[in-house]
Amino acid sequence: MPEPSLSGRVALVTGASRGIGRAAALALAREGASVAVGFGSNSVAAELVVEEVRALGVNAVAIGAELSDAAQAAELVPRTVELLGGVDVVVNNAGISRDNLALRMSDADWRAVIDVDLTAAFVICRAALRPMLKQRWGRIVNVSSVSGVMGNPGQANYSAAKAGLIGMTKALAREVGSRGITVNAVAPGFIETDMTETLDTQLRVRVVQQIPLERMGTADEVAAAIAFLASPQASYISGAVLHVDGGMGA
């Protein structure tokens, strides 16, 4: 059998205790990467993901951080290096939403989403680029959203943060490409996760009607796109936004 494409590499995945983050951690582990499972408050779920990753034959650790605190977010990178010996792949997946119409959106809800969904991703990228530049190799994948591409009513904060991730991705790709580092984004549409499980039946029907493939996606489908962008097969792709949305953004 051929050696897994990320054998010997180390990946940091934020928001990896559930949903897309968990699926991404497992997908990268299947490709041979050791994984730092970043989490916010659910240490029990994170440790379960660590066990799942280790069962695939690679190392894993859980590292907690409150991503609304930029200093804690940045610390994820040196902690990953300390515990796993380096950092080669970063997946900025963690995010929150605080939905409301713009006229009713509080300053606190605006700042909370920008801090976690955009600023934390930036400081993690900035911290990770230091070791990546030295080793002249790295893969960064930022998890944006169809909301950041098309906009979505009631999500001015979330759409702004996710659009900001796309702009940051493109700027960083231009900054660090000469050092063997690629920076890309994935833009998921409606994905079956804990967040979408709470949708009532009528709203779910309306959502699916917007999707050309007539179904929601799965976390594993997004994770496959993330693993691809981290793989050697994607070595000439940088600054791209890979839509995983069933055709919504077409």
pLDDT tens for residues 166-177? 999 999 999 999
pLDDT digits (tens, 9 = 90+) for 22-33: 999 999 999 999
pLDDT digits (tens, 9 = 90+) for 56-114: 999 999 999 999 999 999 999 999 999 999 999 999 999 999 999 999 999 999 999 99
- Known catalytic residue at 158: yes
CA dihedral 45, 10, 119, 97 (to 10 degrees): -30
Helix residue spans in the chain (DSSP H): 19-30, 43-54, 70-84, 107-114, 120-135, 146-150, 156-176, 194-197, 201-209, 219-230
Instruction: Give me the catalytic one of 158, 183, 216, 217.
Output: 158
Domains recognised in the chain with CATH numbers? 10-243 (3.40.50.720)
pTM: 0.95
pLDDT at residue number 1:
58
User: Binning pLDDT at 50, 70 and 90, where does residue 221 land?
Assistant: very high
pLDDT digits (tens, 9 = 90+) for 116-150: 999 999 999 999 999 999 999 999 999 999 999 99
